[in-house]
Amino acid sequence: MSDETAPLDPDDPAFDALFADPPEGAEVDGLPDGDYEDLDEAGRLAARYSIQDGKLEGPAEFYEDGALTQTCAFRAGRLHGRCLIYEGEALVQETTYVDGVLDGEAVEYEDGGPTSRIAFKDGRPHGTAEFYEEDRLVQRSTFDQGYLEGESLFFDEAGEVAQRLPFAAGLRQGKSTLYDQGRRLVEIDFQDDRQTGLLVTYGPNGRPMAKIPFKDGLKEGEARYFDPDGRLVKSETFKADKPDGPTREYLPGGPCVKQSPFVAGQLTGWAIEFTPKGKEAFRQRFEAGEPVGPKEEKTAFGWRALEAAPDDGEG
């Protein structure tokens, strides 16, 4: 699975940066109750707000170089209600606070359109989160008290689902599926955020083309490969992500016609080719991926070395 399809991660500093900094308030220490307007050095409006019991209360506006940058609401000195942030004259962020913490939908904008909509509760993502590119929905996820929960969906340019990625308590958990224009391409099993289980690829006719076992993100066990009709054509054994054990090639749905032994990713031992009836026909010995003798042909009188091998026997 590529990083391009990775969902929003609430533990990522980039996520915290979305809504970590609340709108700035005015310096009100020591001010008596009342309504205020602050001016900058050029005499332009810098802030408009109210003080009650020595704290910010009610709607407030803040300006930079005379241009509106923030509108917020306060209660007893804490952000409480709707807050809007502007760059130039464009709205770039819209949030809702309850007693100083995010609570409700938070929206970020770019060029007039939303780039994200995230539901918050008690300062943490909780509920639906959506992300957009050029007004096109590209991801929809669900959060439970700050953690990804349930199925995250990723969408292609046509608006069709390109990937389904399940989560439990913030960890990838279960079967993820990738699609191309509605056609299933790949299924990937996850356990506790690690790729563990089968990776299955599918052909245009919907039949499996490969079934590859993984453990903790590494290939582990026997992988099997199929032709478009679903017939076995190859198998190979992995250990810690490297070929380790026999690799076999088959006539489609028929007998093995080639067997190559691997140790820690290198061809080691006798590579043997078989006739369609399963009898030994050729062999060659390898050590650490290199041939250590000539290729041999099986004859009625035993094994005979060939002067030049058609190939090196590696499967």
Q: What is the pLDDT of residues 179-202, one digit of tens each?
A: 999 999 999 999 999 999 999 999
By residue range, what is the domain housing residue 309?
A: 255-315
- Euclidean distance between CA atoms 175 and 196, whole angstroms: 10
CB 238 within 8 A of CB 221: yes
Which residues touch 275 (CB under 8 Å, ≥6 apart)?
257, 281
Residue 313 resides in a domain: yes
Residue 272 resides in a domain: yes
Confidence band, pLDDT 50/70/90 cuts, at residue 30: confident
Residue 192 resides in a domain: no
Q: How far is CA 200 from CA 174, 186, 206, 214, 257, in A?
A: 14, 6, 11, 11, 24
Confidence band, pLDDT 50/70/90 cuts, at residue 27: low
Q: Is the pLDDT of residue 314 over 80?
A: no
Confidence band, pLDDT 50/70/90 cuts, at residue 309: very low
Q: Is the pLDDT of residue 9 over 70?
A: no
Residue 282 resides in a domain: yes
Report residue 147 as tokens: 């953690």
For 208-247, the pLDDT digits (tens) are 999 999 999 999 999 999 999 999 999 999 999 999 999 9
Q: Is the pLDDT of residue 1 over 50?
A: no
Confidence band, pLDDT 50/70/90 cuts, at residue 23: low
The pTM (predicted TM-score) of the whole model is 0.82
Tell me what the mean pLDDT of segment 13-25 comes to: 47
Residue 280 resides in a domain: yes
Q: Percentage of residues in the chain with pLDDT exceeding 90?
A: 86
Residue 309 resides in a domain: yes
* pLDDT of the residue at 16: 46
* pLDDT of the residue at 75: 96
- Euclidean distance between CA atoms 140 and 106, whole angstroms: 15
Q: Count of domains in the chain? A: 1
For 113-172, the pLDDT digits (tens) are 999 999 999 999 999 999 999 999 999 999 999 999 999 999 999 999 999 999 999 999
- Euclidean distance between CA atoms 243 and 219, whole angstroms: 9
Residue 62 resides in a domain: no
Count of Cβ atoms closer than 10 Å to residue 132 Cβ: 18
* pLDDT of the residue at 29: 67
Which residues touch 225 (CB under 8 Å, ≥6 apart)?
209, 210, 232, 233, 234, 235
Q: Is the pLDDT of residue 34 over 90?
A: yes
Confidence band, pLDDT 50/70/90 cuts, at residue 308: low
Q: Is the pLDDT of residue 14 over 80?
A: no
Question: Chain centroid to CA 230: how far?
Answer: 30
CA nearest to 7, candidates 121, 131, 145, 191: 131
Measured distance between the N- and C-terminal CA atoms of the chain, rounded to whole angstroms: 27
Residue 90 resides in a domain: no
* pLDDT of the residue at 307: 77
- Euclidean distance between CA atoms 267 and 169, whole angstroms: 43
- Euclidean distance between CA atoms 195 and 214, whole angstroms: 6
